[in-house]
Structure 1
């Protein structure tokens, strides 16, 4: 396995044309591989617009099985380019049973593993509980030829427990395909607070676990088909943080972009030696963490 991994994040806007979106993603993977990427990370639900702004049963037609057509196409490309791909898909497990799933494609084209989103939001503009059943696979890293990947999805990034459990199971990097943005009606100060919180919480996961964090978001304005809101302005800002929370690479808030960062496993090893959080955890006094709330 390589001690240094070149990661690429494919940040882009999407349209209602699923085929065009997928073509854009596939070209982005090719472009990333041409620049020497070993690992390519795609944004959350990259094949379509973020359809969870409203509830519509016809949108279940977007879901597909895993394995399925997208994993087959991505597998062929991964094998051709010799890259590992992390892709976020709307998984149809059975009729009436769907998940928000990240799948890892190995560089030989096989499926190395998948992760079903555990934390499912239900907020104005983010009605995911209508579409997705909470994951049932736990927080298990996925072994690949470039290392053990701790893959989670979007809303998971706000919960330190998921990051910690991945790290405890041996994850060498945390990866968050994401779809997050602003309500256009919010003022600039509120937008800044939200974006800062999003970056800070994920940099904190890197610090608390001594491993890099990758967050890949989308860009562009997507309207609300129901007309109940002004839609979402996805804020981009995809980034990679190192094991001390240092920002290794950072995309802008509006452009399609391929973001590159070099991940150094030796650096994580050095950081964990001087900041041994796992050594000093007091698990004998953490039992209340299994409660929803301490009344």
Structure 2
């Protein structure tokens, strides 16, 4: 048995005017709650330190860069790293990363229980658009402010298991899970900031968006026999609502815990990483059952190519 207690630290809304220091105090409160519940790992959302700034159209790169972190930890987040290390708890945190050579990524990191960063992932599947779109109910400018991740989908040995990461829209793409599944991943952690309404389809509201969230995460977990911990930033940010629905899902695709609010909320589950073995050895034994000679189209083609008429 390889028991692990994981905590999904959902954050409620972060307003545009709120500082990192204010947000970190909330993150520390969730960490303290997790410590009291015996957590080994606390997972925070995508862009956990700020509002979801890609909804705002900006033309000044200096202004854009104020939403990014040029180092991690930094002065604002060091108290969180220190508290986690003191409590012997590992962390996973999403944030906007500005690299020393000027690249911008939507990033998630994983630490060990000493606060050392042992894994980094940069979001691959960026949704949205580049220029201001008058046809949308609100803007979603991730393609303007971020570059597609350049690290692929690596996995990391940590906490006695094999861990992977993804961010938000990545969870909708089966390839994200499968690349990690092919590396034996046993737990995937991810953060998301998902608007409660589709900006291009107003009838797609929170109920359907929560359904798609569950569907994506549960399918990915089951089809790769892995635990998935999906953590939201939720609630109304300056008039722009985000869904909650944070989830901890087991390797059979069963929901172990699910958020009940759109505020700061901690979900905790004690799991056994060995529970991933059965699926990996039977129905999803990739070595025995995959037929890669038929999968070439997946990596050789992006857009749809219709059959001849």
Which runs of no fewer than 5 residues in structure 1 stay unpaired? 224-230
Report the alpha carbon displacement of residue 232 of structure 1 after superposing the two structures with TM: 2.6
The separation in 1 between residues aligned to 2:77 and 2:285, in whole angstroms, is 37
Where do residues 1-295 of structure 1 align in structure 2 (5 Å cutoff)? 3-13=2-12, 14-15=14-15, 16-18=17-19, 19-56=21-58, 57=60, 58-69=63-74, 72-94=78-100, 96-123=102-129, 124-183=138-197, 190-223=205-238, 231-278=239-286, 279-290=288-299, 291-293=301-303, 295=305
Contact 1:60 1:131 in 2 (8 A): no
The separation in 1 between residues aligned to 2:139 and 2:196, in whole angstroms, is 10
Contact 1:99 1:134 in 2 (8 A): yes
TM-score by length of 2: 0.86
Contact 2:223 2:284 in 1 (8 A): no
Cα distance change on mapping 1:68 and 1:82 into 2, 3 Å:
closer
Contact 2:24 2:80 in 1 (8 A): no
Report the alpha carbon displacement of residue 50 of structure 1 after superposing the two structures with TM: 0.7
Report the alpha carbon displacement of residue 78 of structure 1 after superposing the two structures with TM: 2.4
The separation in 2 between residues aligned to 1:206 and 1:286, in whole angstroms, is 21
The separation in 2 between residues aligned to 1:245 and 1:31, in whole angstroms, is 27
Say which SS state the counterpart of residue 69 (structure 2) adopts.
Answer: coil
The separation in 1 between residues aligned to 2:205 and 2:116, in whole angstroms, is 43
TM-score by length of 1: 0.90
Aligned residue pairs, count? 287
Report the alpha carbon displacement of residue 93 of structure 1 after superposing the two structures with TM: 0.5
Contact 1:184 1:232 in 2 (8 A): no
Which runs of no fewer than 5 residues in structure 2 stay unpaired? 130-137
